[in-house]
Structure formats: C-alpha cells, structure tokens
Chain A
C-alpha cells in the first residue's frame, strides 16, 4: 500500500459534512486493484466516496491522484483521471442511452461539446464493453435498473479514467445483473489498468472481487486488510452487530 506508485491514495484523511465523521483514513489503490468499502447503512461509506470523488471537501488530510494532491490538478485534469457512478440516478427525459454515455466525453470535447470521430469510437467501445448495443437508441427512462447501471458505467468508462469510484452500484440489481456488473469491474481493473473503489452490501461478492477491504462502522475504519483476513471468524458479526444466535442461524 505505498502511495508512490498508486493511482489514488488517502493520507490521514478526515471526512464529514459539518463535523468530521471519519478520521485518519489511509490507503492507496494501484493500477489493476479493487478496493471495497463495506459496513452498515449510515456508517459513512458514501461520505468517504464523495470526498474521494471531489464532491465533498475533506476536513483534514489529502487525496492523492497519481501521487499529486487532487487539489493541485485543474478540474479538467481531474475529470480525465477520475470518474464516478453515484447513487443519484439521472432521469433526464428525452435522453437516449447513447447520449448519456456521450456525456463521459465532456473533458475531451471543445467549447460546444461536439464529438470527434475519436470520441464517437470511445463511446461505441464503452457501450460494447457493457453490452448495451441493442439499447443505445432507447430513452434512459425506458430501461431497467440493471440496464441503467450499465449505461452509467459506460458513461464513466468512456471518460477514460485511471480511477473509478462507485457508490453501491449493484444494490438494486438482480443476482444475474450483479454478477455481470462485477465481472465488468474486474475486467476494467485487469485490462484497462484502472484503480477501482467500490462500496457494496453484498459481502460474498465483495470477498470475491476485492483486492483490499475497508470496513466502515460508526464513523470509524473498523478494520482494513486483504479479503482473506477480513472475511474470517466473526469479524462480520462484529461489523454489523448481529446477535450471535441469529448469526449462527442465518450466516454459518
């Protein structure tokens, strides 16, 4: 977990809205790695992700993008390196899936946002990667949740980021679409050399795709480490405060 070669890193980061909610966050994510945030609802996962995405100002500490402080880069430089998939769902009427994906080219286009053939090709490649070719011409409001998440992922991908930040991207998807989605994330990390930070509730899947896990509980980094160390013993029981009898009945 060294910062020097990382794509995104946090150093003594403290995040929160008015008051610091979580303090002393340290990690570094490298090319090809997936960092997963797990923890109960309201524990502060989204607050951390918003700060890493640049939507919320940190109270203390630094977010590094490719080893330079994020605030030292211009907004456009940051946009070309860091892309997001958030929990808010854009539901613009009269916008096709393709047009939504095209928005990812924003940092690369000129004053009026006209797409060049290179931009068009990037859009097409992103749509193919998430396998939404058949729906590209459809309205963004007319497709299912699973399809919409893939379109939003394609939007993030064609921004050609080094860093991808996703807030509970699989929450409303059925199990088949969850697996499809996570498979794309693994592929992006391996083939596009992205550093991916993703929060999720599905612990079994988190264990399978994560290279590193951050457990967030009550405004604190409860544990962090490799999945084989985290998903062991009754750490999860402690993380989610599950009564022992219920834990025994449902989770073992």
Chain B
C-alpha cells in the first residue's frame, strides 16, 4: 500500500467515526427528549416544550418535568456513561473484555457500604449529603476491588477471577439485604428501591454533585488516552515505551472505582452496562484507540441507560421495573457474545 493510499484509508476511517458519533449523538438527543415526554403523568409535547423553555411556572407539568423527569433522565445519561467508562477501564486494567464493575463485585461492595452509611446517617442525623454517599460507595468499591486484586495475584485465570468477583458480589448483596431487612426506619422503602437499582428519586441537587464527579473522572480518563494505548500492548511493552506502569495501573483502578461508586451511590447496582456497552462500541467503531473509545463508550452508555430506563418506566406502567432488570435483559446476551468472540479470537 502506498503512503497516499494509507492516508486515504485513514480519512475514510475518520469519516466512519464521524458518522457513527453523529448517529449516536442524535440517538442520545432523541432518547433524552423521549424520556422527558413519556410517563404516567399526561403532559403534551407542546406543554413540555413550553416548560423546558422556562414557561408554565408553578404548574403540575412543570414540577413533574423539572423535579422528576429531568433529573431522572440526566442521572441515566451521566451514570450510564460513567458505568460504561468504568467497565472500559477495568477491561483495560485486566486485559480482558469481560471485566466490569458488576461481575467483579465492585458495584455490590459499593452498595453495601452505601446501605450501611445511609442507615447510620439517617438514624443519627435524619439526612445524608450526596458527597458522603459517593465517599462511602468509593470506599466499598475499593474494598471489593482490593479483594479481587489480591485474588487475581493468586489465580492467573480471568474466568476464576470473574467467578470470585460474582461470589464477592453475592456476599455483599446478602449482607446488604440483611441490613436493609432489619433496619427500622421510614426511609426504608426508599432504601429498598435503591438497593435493587433505580434512577428514580434523583434530585437536581444530586445532579450537581454527580456532574462534578463524573466530568472530572471522565476527563481524567480521557487525558490518559495515550498511556492506555501503550498499556494495551502489555505491561512490558508499555514500560519500554516510557510509561510508569505502576502509576497508570493505580490511576485506572481509582478512576474506575470513582465512576462506579458514583453510580452505586445514586442509582444502586446497575448490571452489565459496563461490559455490554464497551463491547458494542468496539464492534461498532472497529478500533482499539482509547482516544476514540473513551468518549464513544461514555456516549454509548448514556444512550443505553436512557433507553433502558425509559423501558423500565413505561413498559408496565404504572408498575416500574428495576433498571437492572432491563439492562440485564439487553446486556447479558451481549456479554455471552463477547465471551464467544474471545474464544474465537484464540484467547
């Protein structure tokens, strides 16, 4: 292939990336507005648009839209992206496409510490700040991840690691259920919903904290695009290229833990998004370049979670499904496909 031909191919690739990104962005916008316009309260599109552009103050429509649907949709958008990115980081870290915060028990670890923190804080102070919740979730994430890492040094095989992660997840969930069952408080209904995973109940105040954490962690991840690309070749090659491998590994774990902690704190456990979305995005873009995959995974996670949340809200309205019910339904088959693909690649 001549140099010019290679350049032409390069721009063809760029064109393809641009088309897919545009399509995903349009899809994100459509799902965003669909989420705002659908629901059990009967609000016409015209009415909704009027409210969104600052009108209809004090009406029921305004309060439903601005206090319930808008924060909930924003939460699905931000946390969906965070979850997909958290999965991408863990897959990079373990050099394995079936690693993710849910299967490695990270989400459940975070769930446990958040539940404990909520019960403690509510019984003592009758209130809890969202930043405290994130901190508690982060501590839980790091605890389970530390556990998984300790095991990974003993068992070399990734399949065993995933089994251990799932077991840790079950243990944490069992303890959480136990704590939730015997906690005596009026807020327990809320806690019960949260422990099954949901984007409902998010306030605009939550969104501000969430936005800060997610933007910082995602931005930090994007800034690591270059060393991540070297790390994909293996630790020895990365080291030879001048990457401080130990520092990079620590950064991958911390960022991934922070992102999944943010999800656990506000939405509880949300399953399979972390594996399914990066897998779909890699297939769609047919590239391994982190500089493209990182923003694309975020975008993909946003679309996926907004769609799933819409289904969870509307499919059997007024009964609401937990978000994990829907994400598992669409996500788990993708995970199976990813495993088959991996086998075929001769891994």
Interface residues of A (CB under 8 A from B): 50, 53-55, 74-76, 78-79, 82-84, 86, 88, 90-95, 98-100, 103, 106-107, 109, 111-113, 120, 124, 133-134, 136-137, 141, 159
* Contact for B240 among A79, A98, A136, CB less than 8 A: A79
Bound-state CA distance A186–B233 (Å) is: 26
Nearest CB of B to A169, in Å: 14
Select B6's contact among A93, A106, A136, beta carbons within 8 Å. A136
Contact A86 B236 (CB under 8 A): yes
**Is the beta-carbon distance between B288 and A83 smaller than 8 angstroms?**
no
CB-based contact A94/B236 at 8 Å: no
Instruction: Tell me the complex Cα distance, A132–B288, Å.
Output: 21
Q: Looking at the assembled complex, report how far the CB atom of B96 sits from the nearest CB atom of chain A, in whole angstroms.
A: 12
* B226 near A75: Cβ-Cβ < 8 Å: no
* A33 → B minimal CB distance (Å): 21
Residues of A within 8 A of B241 (CB): 79, 103, 106-107, 159
Shortest C-beta distance, B275 to chain A (Å), equals 15
Tell me whether B229 and A103 are in contact (CB under 8 A).
yes
B230 on the interface (CB 8 Å rule)? yes
Q: A113-B226, A124-B3, A141-B345 are in contact. Are A92 and B240 (CB under 8 A)?
A: no
Residue of B nearest to A140 (CB): B288
Contacts of A90 in B (CB 8 A): 232-234, 237
In the bound complex, residues from chain B placing their C-beta under 8 Å from that of A54 are 239-240
Is B1 a contact of A137 with CB atoms below 8 Å?
yes
Which residues of chain A are near B129, meaning CB under 8 Å? Answer: none
B225 at the interface (CB under 8 A from A): yes
Closest 6 CB pairs of A and B: A79-B242, A113-B226, A75-B242, A106-B241, A90-B233, A95-B288
Q: Which of A55, A76, A92, A141 contacts B242 (CB 8 A)?
A: A76
Rounded to whole angstroms, the CA-CA distance of A116 and B9 in the bound complex is 17
Taking a contact as CB atoms closer than 8 A, the residue among B229, B236, B244, B287 that contacts A88 in the complex is B236
Give the shortest distance, in Å, between A201 (CB) and chain B (any CB).
21
A115 CB, min distance to chain B CBs, angstroms:
10
- The 28 listed contacts between A and B (C-beta, < 8 Å) are A53-B236, A54-B240, A55-B236, A55-B239, A74-B242, A76-B242, A82-B240, A84-B237, A86-B237, A88-B237, A90-B233, A91-B345, A91-B346, A92-B232, A92-B288, A95-B232, A100-B233, A103-B230, A106-B226, A106-B241, A107-B241, A109-B226, A111-B223, A112-B291, A113-B226, A124-B3, A133-B1, A159-B241
How far apart are the CA atoms of A242 and B276 in the complex, in Å?
54
Interface contacts beyond A54-B239, A120-B3, A137-B1: sample of 19 additional A-B pairs, CB < 8 Å, sorted by A: A50-B236, A53-B240, A55-B239, A76-B242, A79-B241, A86-B236, A90-B233, A91-B345, A91-B346, A92-B232, A93-B288, A94-B286, A95-B232, A99-B289, A103-B229, A103-B233, A107-B242, A133-B1, A137-B9
In whole angstroms, what is the CA distance A109 to B287 when docked? 20
Q: Which B residues touch A141, using CB under 8 A? A: 345-346
| 0/1 string, B231-263, CB within 8 A of A gives 1 | 011101101111110000000000000000000
The residue from A74, A75, A84 contacting B236, defined by CB atoms under 8 A apart: A84
Give chain A nearest CB distance to B26 CB in angstroms.
24
Tell me if B184 is interfacial: C-beta within 8 Å of chain A: no
The answer to the question of B57 belonging to the interface, with a C-beta cut-off of 8 Å to chain A, is no
Bound form: Cα–Cα A98–B285 in Å:
17
Is A83's CB under 8 angstroms from B236's CB?
A: no
**CB closest chain-A residue, reference B97:** A93
- Asked if B196 is at the interface of the complex by the 8 Å CB criterion, the answer is no
B247, chain A: closest CB distance, angstroms: 11
Q: How far is the CA of A111 from the CA of B237 in the complex (A)?
A: 18
